[in-house]
Amino acid sequence: MNKCAWLILAGLMLLNSLTAQVNPEWNEIFAKINQEVQQNSKSYSSLKTATETIGHRLTGSANGQKAEEFAYNLLKSYGFKNVRYQPFEVESWSRGNLTVSVGDNDKHLQVFKSVSLAHSPVKASVKLELVDMGNGLEEDYLSNPEKVKGKIALVYLGVLPGSKPGTKSLHRSEKTAIATKYGAKGIVVINAASGGILLTGTASVTGKLIPIPAVCISKEDGLQLKETLAQKKQIASIEMSNFSGLIKARNVIARIEGKSIPSEKVIVGGHLDSWDLATGAIDNGIGSFSVLDMARTFSVLNLKPARTVEFVMFMGEEEGLLGSRAYVAEAIKDNSINQLRYMLNYDMTNDPKGYATTAAESKELFQSIGAIAQSLDTSYKNIFTSGAGLHSDHQPFMLHGVPTGGGAGGVLPNNSGPCYHADCDDFKLVDEKGMKNTVRFSSMLLYGIADAKEIKAKHFTDAETKEFLLKNNLKEPLEIAGEWRWKD
């Protein structure tokens, strides 16, 4: 067989494989989804209203409660009769006062623009030597394990320019945990975004208070400090006060009962909460309000796939995946965890060009769904990616063997990446077309999975989950977080 004939045959085999995955009704259903979202989507307008009338959506705050009620009432207005709150108790944290200053000695210190990282102590007052610990990875401490003991660590948020090839990054909470492990009495994190932007977010791997103060300073100030430290010793002072206490928060859940396999469930969710420096339009307004509009689309079109579908607005993601952990804990308690066939997560998803999943065996199903989407709009490229990561609401599900996924190939609108967790995360950054694309292509994915005759992605056993996590190099960060539950 010549090369040309082989390529034609391979193409036909792929087409037949994809076609076998498709329910013939999906073409008409997806066309209706496409038209409804293009003409009537409320994702952009609802997010605009929320940012204007609520503001930030910090879990445990009065604004957080308003956000929960906003989502609940919105789902009710879309015709959902089966809407409920899922309450959980959370250790709430909010920032108080902070002063960070650095200088040659403890009497002549320069005040630096700074912000506390969440779950820092309720009160802290330290004035100690500042030590440059590079990227803040384990390897940066091993050459001199005593270097930072009793001192304050200065670490870069991402990976420093000039680092050796293949240097990996860790979450700010993991870098804080490593600094604490080696005896640091405080940590100063240098933001990786330029322009004097300050980043907030949790410095705790557990969602509980950490023992040392953790702060963020700008990239410009941080890199200048690194240069100074290379020449002479510096003393840093951190004075902070914060609030912490147990409060109640609520996930918001709307449900559509499956028409033929109601005992199996597909979840689509996004975190409704945000940090308090801005309105959280990008993180995670564009994700959570897209999920709310997926729910509206299913309701107005009276879509009832074979499996049960739940639309979940998670609270507490920013403070340690608290809402998604609460959902999984309840599912374990009532033995419904094994009914979960897929969890789709939308966290800062915008204008996807394909689908992503932890389960490579979902490729045929996902691309068969995507092929229909692409026939309706050629801007959709039907990209497929498989892999795994941490630090969003899919994580608790993934750690208990549930296949997870969502959008792939999109980009954040209007250069909004540097405003992640920052005071510039404003509604003006949102792109309406990008949100519509998230809603329509993701509604097709959701319906296709929930209505598929077969979902090849299996719910892993505990042993299979361990092997999957090892394969994806997630043991180290999970060990740092205290979430590696297996004994080798």
> For residue 331, what are the CA distances in angstroms to 260, 265, 325, 326, 341?
21, 11, 10, 9, 13
Q: What is the pTM of this model?
A: 0.91
* Strand segments (E) across 325-377: 340-345, 354-357
pLDDT of amino acid 105: 83
C-beta of residue 167 within 8 angstroms of C-beta of residue 271: no
Query: What homologous superfamily does CATH list for 23-82+257-480?
Result: Zn peptidases (3.40.630.10)
> For residue 291, what are the CA distances in angstroms to 66, 82, 403, 460, 467?
18, 16, 18, 26, 31
pLDDT of amino acid 244: 93
DSSP code at position 163: P
Scanning 182-302, the segments in alpha helix (DSSP H) are 219-231, 286-300
CA-based nearest residue to 206, from 173, 233, 175: 173
Burial class for 32, CB neighbours closer than 10 Å (0-12, 13-18, 19+): middle
pLDDT of amino acid 106: 72
CA-based nearest residue to 327, from 407, 271, 261, 260: 271
The CATH number that domain 93-243 falls under is 3.50.30.30
Q: What is the radius of gyration, based on Cα positions, of the chain?
A: 24
C-beta of residue 290 within 8 angstroms of C-beta of residue 439: yes
Which CB contacts under 8 angstroms, 24+ apart, belong to 48-53? 48/427, 48/430, 50/279, 50/285, 50/289, 51/279, 51/280, 51/281, 51/285, 51/426, 51/427, 52/427
CA-based nearest residue to 342, from 382, 289, 305, 303: 305
Beta strands 152-156; 123-132: pairing state: parallel
Domain boundaries, the chain: 23-82+257-480, 93-243
Question: Whole-angstrom Cα distance, residue 284 to residue 275?
Answer: 10
Provide the β-strand partners of residue 261. 307
CA-based nearest residue to 214, from 186, 252, 249, 184: 186
CA-based nearest residue to 210, from 172, 248, 159, 156: 172
Tell me how many degrees the CA angle 111-115-121 measures, rounded to the nearest 5. Answer: 105
Predicted confidence pLDDT, tens digits, the chain (488 residues): 554 444 344 443 444 555 557 899 999 999 999 999 999 999 999 999 999 999 999 999 999 999 999 999 999 999 999 999 999 997 788 999 999 999 998 778 999 999 999 999 999 999 999 999 999 999 999 999 999 999 999 999 999 999 999 999 999 999 999 999 999 999 999 999 999 999 999 999 988 899 999 999 999 999 999 999 999 999 999 999 999 998 899 999 999 999 999 999 999 999 999 999 999 999 999 999 999 999 999 999 999 999 999 999 999 999 999 999 999 999 999 999 999 999 999 999 999 999 999 999 999 999 999 999 999 999 999 999 999 999 999 999 999 999 999 999 999 999 999 999 999 999 999 999 999 999 999 999 999 999 999 999 999 999 999 999 999 999 999 999 999 999 97
* Strand segments (E) across 319-416: 340-345, 354-357, 383-386, 404-408
